Structure 1
Amino acid sequence: MATTVSASTLNGRHHKAALTVFMVIVVAHWGEHLVQAVQVYVWGWPLSEARGVLGLPFPWLVTSEWMHYGYALLMLVGLVLLRKGFAGRSRTWWNISLGIQVWHHMEHLLLLGQKLSGLNLMGRPVPTSVLQLFLPRMELHLFYNAVVFAPMVVAMVLHRRASEHAGAACTCAVAH
């Protein structure tokens, strides 16, 4: 018989496991962006050849707006679903990450809309997000991933402290 995980158990007894799975996905994605930056800035590869780790054998991953949008949506859904497990200051930091991801998601939705319609922002030759008008795409996504990831890490560190865990229904806290 299959078992299902409800929102209350996801943010209760399964919170630690769900956070672990979510963070493995987030760190793997963050790692892809960092590898791409190393390929460009350390190894001197042209941007067109710097595709991260997975993009080398699967180059379509780098150019797929669907894949990028899907990841942005997955991040948004994960941040929303796991939010109720946080309390106090850790919830505040998680909310900061969520707020930034809402904007990041909207940027990817804008990119996907341009790709599907063929109508690019300000007549640009390729789909362009709002902040891409000011920053190159690779550097912008390094920035986005950093500013979503940093408050998420702060939230998780605080969440693991027993002294900060009042009001949380999960078993993530570590006694010190």
Structure 2
Amino acid sequence: MALVDLSELAAVLATRRYRLLGLDLGTKTIGLAISDGLGLSATPVETIRRTKFTADVEALLKLCKAREVGGLVIGLPVNMDGSEGPRAQSTRTFIDNLSEKTALPMALWDERLSTVAVTRLMLEADLSRARRAEIVDKMAAAYILQGALERLRALAARGPEL
């Protein structure tokens, strides 16, 4: 399965309790976060240091299998005006290539300002520059995934459209 709308991802996951994995794709790293089994909260997991696509995907899919992941929520880096630039295109290319390696459904989530928000929280927590650099990507992935989880809960609360 390739890219789906977030509401379609909810329908796929409704058949069985699966965890979602959130991804913050950077040029040098991939931040990862996972949801709990109920889809209530996102927890930072790890950061994959990017090397080659094949190795990156192997590490990603190994984690998916070990953690019983049923779908991916991938941050889409759109510009502030809503347009898509080179980083968004790079994310879409990653998704196209990843969809050839896995049948997991994938949904996009607007990640505008996620790293800024996470960095602000870490500054308020008085984390050192080194510590912030170490965890910012997986924290951004958790921020992205938490936003998607909240949207999924809102969709479920609305119920079926008439």
TM over 0.5: no
- Which structure has the highest helix share of the two? 1
Q: Which has the higher contact order (CA 8 A, sep 6+)?
A: 2
Which of these two proteins has the greater Rg computed from alpha carbons?
A: 1
- Which structure has the highest strand share of the two? 2
